[in-house]
A and B are shown apart, each in its own frame.
Chain A
């Protein structure tokens, strides 16, 4: 099956700092999504980004499908950005089921 690796596993930032989270995947994908898991456990959609670059406020993401990686940029971080960030992929070999394979996540803590 496809492997999804996220780095770093843990990240501590001072409020206002910028950060880059990385997601590497081992095979071709139909889809890639970034999620933020809030303290209550809900997965909040950040980006649906099988390729290219998207921006949403202080967040942006880039996926280079041919090189099998995606990056999530957080600028001017705020304490509310704290939580776990997951990358998830829909493996091309799964037959277009849409099922997602998740990485292990990056735990971000933003200190005031």
Chain B
């Protein structure tokens, strides 16, 4: 059990560019979550997968955001046409049953 892994840890991009983040959950966990955290705030839910099915999306997830989890394993979060307001920490978590959610190290995005 290597824990939840996210890549990259840091990303600096120019406004208007597309970015993609990857999350590898704990292998036996069937649920995977994406959250966003801005400075001084608690994390906010973005979206959730059970196996490969995306079952819920927050209103925070504009149409520039898309997430996938092919084959119910790793997940990707893509942001198209990035804006300065997208600058945040993007956190991935996974859960199985009865022990709660476990988080990765996060990807810190800076849009310049």
Contacts and interface: CB of A to CB of B under 8 A. Distances in A.
A48 to B, nearest CB: 4
A102 B105 contact: no
Interface string B8-51: 00000000000000000000000101010100011111001000
A41 B38 CA distance: 11
Interface residues of A, number: 20
A100 B37 CA distance: 13
B65 interface: no
B91 A102 contact: no
A56 interface: no
Main secondary structure of the interface of B (DSSP, over half): strand
B28 to A, nearest CB: 15
Interface residues of B, number: 25
A97 B105 contact: no
Given A97-B48, A98-B33, A42 B103 contact: yes
Given A97-B56, A98-B31, A31 B108 contact: no
Contacts of A97: 48, 55-56
Interface of B: 31, 33, 35, 37, 41-45, 48, 55-56, 89, 91, 93, 95, 99-106, 108
Interface of A: 31, 33, 35, 40-43, 45, 48, 86, 88, 97-105
